[in-house]
Chains A and B, each alone.
Chain A
């Protein structure tokens, strides 16, 4: 048996459950992440549009083409463009990127690169076009 002063008695219960729930929600909010993506930089010794005027990209998974796109290139001293490829739908962990440069619909340059998507991040890829 012991006698303690009333002021020394610990306070009654603290709402720890509420604090824990709020902390969990903040963690959940922090876990929300972007889609996996590739940031592809395409470069090459081509004067645009004197030597090339358009660029095409084909994305392959195994032997299947899953996407393609063609752009008319803006005026540039040398080719230096970027394109973002986003894994927004089904997972495509390993892909192959094929680029072709055209001058008046005639292929004047090519470049290729394999790429792997990573969850929640943008992976930088460099492709150098050659004649």
Chain B
């Protein structure tokens, strides 16, 4: 019994506790150990956007706590940028160290960031507006483009369709509409929409990319998920959300499959009847007339 207890105590911390463990390690100044825990947590599925932002903020803190080197500083900068990509307001930076916050301030004053409000679920079969805004320093007018790929559940087709994003009336704000049935956007049903947003300079250089082809933003298009029913922030042009009542069930005889089959049978039957009613061609009569055999 004591042996089993000792084994359980020696077992590694549960994944759910590793983020808290990483925070403790950071507070204790054990940055390398904290990075290991943060890496383990980041590989878990199901991290919320807030958790992802905090992970990157803590990672930047740990990297800046390690002995200073160009690689550590670059990795920390990448982590800070990742924070803003996931958390446009940068609220997660409140959990970062002063050094990480100073680095964030420096990044925002020296380079451009593409920010977008990521959503997890949206209603399927409705126009979807993807918005982005630019933050940080930039010169000239960047061109933003949206790359998206709609996948049915279980499919691994990742051909991205690229469309330009349009400027809106608000400064440094862009938007693109994805309309059902147009350009590969599914007309309805359960789908996974992968997308990313790139900003290119006037000379075509990539200034920033929120998401990428290898690590796109994932959005579930759903008719049935309850989270999708209440989200109207992006689709419907950002009008205020309103409660959505599920439509009444459609009677069986009004399904498109039934109506289409019956209509098709009527059309085909009518054409066949018209053809059958046409008289057969008759042989030419002789000068003495025609004799029909019984």
Interface residues of A (CB under 8 A from B): 1-6, 9, 12, 21, 25, 28-29, 32-35, 37, 39-40, 55, 57, 59, 66-67, 69, 71, 81-90, 92, 95, 122
Contact = CB atoms under 8 A, between A and B. Distances in A.
Contacts of B71: none
Contact of B161 (A9, A86, A95): A9
A86 B286 CA distance: 11
Given A5-B162, A6-B163, A40 B147 contact: no
B48 interface: no
Given A2-B160, A25-B275, A28-B272, A84 B286 contact: yes
Contacts of B68: none
Given A4-B161, A9-B161, A35-B280, A83 B290 contact: yes
Contact of B278 (A32, A40, A87, A89): A32
Interface string B174-214: 00000001011000000000000000000000000000011
Interface centre among A3, A35, A86 (most CB of B within 10 A): A3
Nearest to B194: A1
B285 interface: yes
Contacts of B160: 1-4
Interface string B12-27: 0000000000000000
B158 A67 contact: no
Contacts of B264: 21
Contacts of B94: none
Q: For chain A, what secondary structure do more than half of its interface residues adopt (helix, strand, loop), or is it mixed?
A: strand
A84 B281 contact: no
B168 to A, nearest CB: 20
Contacts of B147: 3
Given A12-B181, A81-B287, A66 B294 contact: yes
Nearest to B183: A6
Given A4-B160, A4-B162, A25-B272, A39 B286 contact: yes
Given A6-B184, A32-B275, A82 B288 contact: yes
Given A67-B293, A83-B287, A85-B291, 7 more contacts: A4-B160, A6-B161, A67-B294, A83-B286, A83-B290, A84-B289, A90-B293
B283 A35 contact: yes
A71 B293 contact: no
A90 B294 contact: yes
Contacts of B162: 3-6
B163 to A, nearest CB: 5
A1 B285 CA distance: 72
Contact of B292 (A9, A34, A86): A86
A6 B294 CA distance: 69
A34 B163 contact: no
Given A25-B271, A32-B275, A66-B294, A81 B286 contact: yes
B268 interface: yes
B159 interface: yes
A85 B268 CA distance: 36
Interface centre among B147, B278, B291 (most CB of A within 10 A): B291
Contact of A86 (B268, B287, B293): B293
B151 to A, nearest CB: 12
B183 A9 contact: yes
A4 B283 contact: no
Contacts of B280: 32-35
